[in-house]
Amino acid sequence: MRCSVEPLNHLNSGLAPSAWIAHNLPVGKVVVTIKLTNQGDLVAVRRKLSRAKPRTVEAEALVDTGATRLYLQSSLIKALGLHKESEVQSKTTNGVRRRAVFEPVRLGLRGRNGVFQVVEIDDDVPNLLGQIPLEYLDFVVDPRSRKLIPNPEHGDKEMSEEY
């Protein structure tokens, strides 16, 4: 994603740049509803290996541009029937933690979808929609409206960049 930077008129404000930004831009959480489907179930149905309805859940996720991946609570992972594939070192505000990585899900958000592995987080923290799914689905956070919007550089069309 690219962002344009407008000239900052904070130099004579007496505020440090970070304080000026916090003072002049609305701050808040961006929470979205996501649809998650077990990708293995979808493949099995497509290949006529199963007639069972794919396991699907809807959940809220906090949009976190500081996070890398799709992070889901343990209870959602269990409801989707995902199996652990590997582990990853994850840098958090509380230091480095080892986290389990699970089979992929199909993530649906506002008419767009993609397939992503899942990193497990505790049930007492929100699900996180990180930078990789945001980039893939071509969404950006509008800091003024505090909403997730289609990348304005691409209009309402989902676009992939190859350079």
In degrees, to the nearest 5, what angle opens at C-alpha 68 toward C-alphas 127 and 149?
70
Q: Which 3 state secondary structure label does DSSP give 29?
A: coil
- Terminal Cα distance for the chain, rounded: 12
Q: Which 3 state secondary structure label does DSSP give 104?
A: strand
Which residues, in sequence order, are CB contacts of 14 under 8 Å at separation 6+? none
pLDDT recorded at residue 27: 56
Beta strands in 13-138 (DSSP E): 31-38, 56-63, 70-73, 84-92, 95-109, 112-121, 127-129
pLDDT recorded at residue 28: 74
pLDDT recorded at residue 160: 85
Q: Which 3 state secondary structure label does DSSP give 22?
A: helix
Q: What is the mean pLDDT for each group of 10 consecutive residues in the chain (163 residues)? A: 34 37 58 97 96 97 95 98 97 91 98 97 96 96 91 87 82
Q: In angstroms, rounded to a whole number, what is the distance separating the alpha carbons of residues 158 and 103?
A: 25
Phi-psi map region of 8: left, alpha, beta (phi>0 left; psi -120 to 50 alpha): beta
Which residues, in sequence order, are CB contacts of 133 under 8 Å at separation 6+? 69, 70, 107, 109, 114, 116
Q: Tell me yes or no: is domain 37-154 CATH 1.10.600.10.
A: no
Domain ranges of the chain: 37-154
Instruction: Yes or no: say if 98 and 82 are a contact pair by the CB < 8 Å rule.
Output: no
